[in-house]
């Protein structure tokens, strides 16, 4: 089981690599922001509107927070380098004070997500949304533990049940398809299609047509905190 110090050291090493070059990260996070907004709207939510209050968990170098602020949101971020242990600590936010909580590549690092999900439910306003991105064990099994800080895998079914068990309603789990047509999320066998029918990753060479890019073995999940009258 990885410790907070293991994760801190691993994250620090990643931030020093070319993968986390600031220009590259800002470009990727703009695409992630637009995908989150598209997903919310496709699921009947209001989207990532200017003025919305957003907290990004696992914020790393802060690129996603910077993009959200560029788009007019009141955004802040938390990472393990801020001294917050997502398995044990309270989130530094008031009850029902946030519209959106995002957590990309976070939940798979936690032996138990119970505290994080309880705290997220506390700080979200009724009708607020939690957005998660995490590997799909069903399609990344051989490589999941190549990251030594991964401790808890999920499938689309287990993640949906987890969010429902922690009081989120409704819950939607789809393939993590970045900047692709929304109808792909509604395909039968969409997870298989995302993994095997798109031949190239999203960061493939520029000469490859965009419609052939986007192969994914990850999950995108939405959990909504019910309105009070729905409880």
Residue ranges per domain, the chain? 4-230
Whether 57 contacts 86, CB under 8 Å? yes
The helix (run of H) or strand (run of E) holding residue 100 is: strand 98-104
pLDDT for res 207: 55
Which CATH architecture fits 4-230? 3-Layer(aba) Sandwich (3.40)
Percentage of residues of the chain with pLDDT beyond 70 = 82
- Asked if residue 31 has pLDDT above 60, the reply is yes
pLDDT for res 81: 86
- Asked if residue 230 has pLDDT above 50, the reply is no
String of b and e for 186-208 (b: at least 16 CB within 10 Å)?
A: eeeebbebbbeebeeebeeeeee
Average pLDDT estimate for 119-138: 98
- Asked if residue 174 has pLDDT above 70, the reply is yes
On the CB side of 156, CA atoms within 13 Å amount to: 17
Among 63-77, 80-94, 122-136, which is the least confidently predicted range?
Answer: 80-94
Residue with the bigger pLDDT between 137 and 8: it is: 137
């Amino acid at each position: 089981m990885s410790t907070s110090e293991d994760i801190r050291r691993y994250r620090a090493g990643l931030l020093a690599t070319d993968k986390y070059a600031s220009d590259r990260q800002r470009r990727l996070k703009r695409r992630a922001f637009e995908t989150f907004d598209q997903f919310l709207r496709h699921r009947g939510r209001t989207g990532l509107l200017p003025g919305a209050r957003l907290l990004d968990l696992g914020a790393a170098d802060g690129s996603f927070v910077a993009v959200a602020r560029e788009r007019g949101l009141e955004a802040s971020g938390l990472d393990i380098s801020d001294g917050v242990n997502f398995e044990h600590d309270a989130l530094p936010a008031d009850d029902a004070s946030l519209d959106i909580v995002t957590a990309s590549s976070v939940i798979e690092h936690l032996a138990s997500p119970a505290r994080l999900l309880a705290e997220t439910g506390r700080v979200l306003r009724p009708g607020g949304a939690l957005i998660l991105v995490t590997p799909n064990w069903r399609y990344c099994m051989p490589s999941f533990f190549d990251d030594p800080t991964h401790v808890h895998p999920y499938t689309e079914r287990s993640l949906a049940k987890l969010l429902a068990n922690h009081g989120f309603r409704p819950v939607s789990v789809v393939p993590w398809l970045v900047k692709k047509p929304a109808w792909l999320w509604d395909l039968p066998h969409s997870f298989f299609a995302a993994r095997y029918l798109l031949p190239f990753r999203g960061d493939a060479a520029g000469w490859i047509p965009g419609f052939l890019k986007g192969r994914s073995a990850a999950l995108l999940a939405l959990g909504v905190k019910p309105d009070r009258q729905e409880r």
